[in-house]
Amino acid sequence: MKHIFKKGSPSKPVLLLLHGTGGTEQDLLPLADLIDPEASVLSVRGNVSENGMPRFFKRLAEGIFDLEDLAVRTEELYDFIGQAADKYGFDRNNVLAIGYSNGANIAGSLLFHYENALKGAILHHPMVPLRDKKLPDLTNVPVFITAGINDPICPPEETNELESLLKGAGAATEVYWHKNGHQLTQDEVQEAQLWYKKQN
């Protein structure tokens, strides 16, 4: 997968950056600098193209995921993280995802599919990746979700359902709400930074 790796302190988590639809591996680099400038960064570009816009998995329509492709792409990303850990010499069990929109959804899918996929996650405007699946044991995995009360793509009910599912699997889940829509706001980034500092 096309990516950028920036080596940082081995005592800090490796920040796995996952962009939104139409983004690239460059998009969230400033976010990583705000969250933890000393951390290593693995920023990945989605392998799917939708009308020329990079994504991490296919969708059938707005808000309707191609679940078969989601499963394949989730496994692909999971395997890629392991390969990157071998190539760059970082601890595979020390990866914290930071995802926005489509990137947050593939990060959520990693959590839904694999017990030890991520050390933790910051999910900006995620949806429930898939339903009717027994989640792995996520006991004490810290997850921070940010959501907009007026988000037309990801309504509050979706966020509440995701929070409930993650908590049901044992994840230490927190949600930060703001009054805006689907865009990433400075407030939620600052809240994510505060949450991260509490974890690390």
Report pLDDT digits (tens) over 57-77: 999 888 889 999 999 999 999
User: Catalytic annotation on 151?
Assistant: yes
Cα gap 67→74, rounded to integer Å: 10
Res 62: pLDDT = 82
- Summarize pLDDT for 149-168 with one digit per residue, the tens: 999 999 999 999 999 999 99
**pTM higher than 0.95:** yes
- At residue 175's C-alpha, the angle toward residues 112 and 85, to 5°, is 45
Confidence of residue 32 (pLDDT cuts 50, 70, 90): very high
Candidates 40, 43, 101, 109; catalytic one: 101
Active site residue 43: no
Chain centroid offset of residue 44 CA: 11
**Which residues fall within 8 angstroms of residue 97, CB to CB, at 6 or more apart?**
15, 16, 18, 107, 110, 118, 120, 121, 122, 123
Residue 200 pLDDT class (50, 70, 90 cuts): confident
Class of domain 3-199: alpha beta
Active-site position among 36, 43, 124, 151: 151
Determine whether 182 is an active site residue. yes
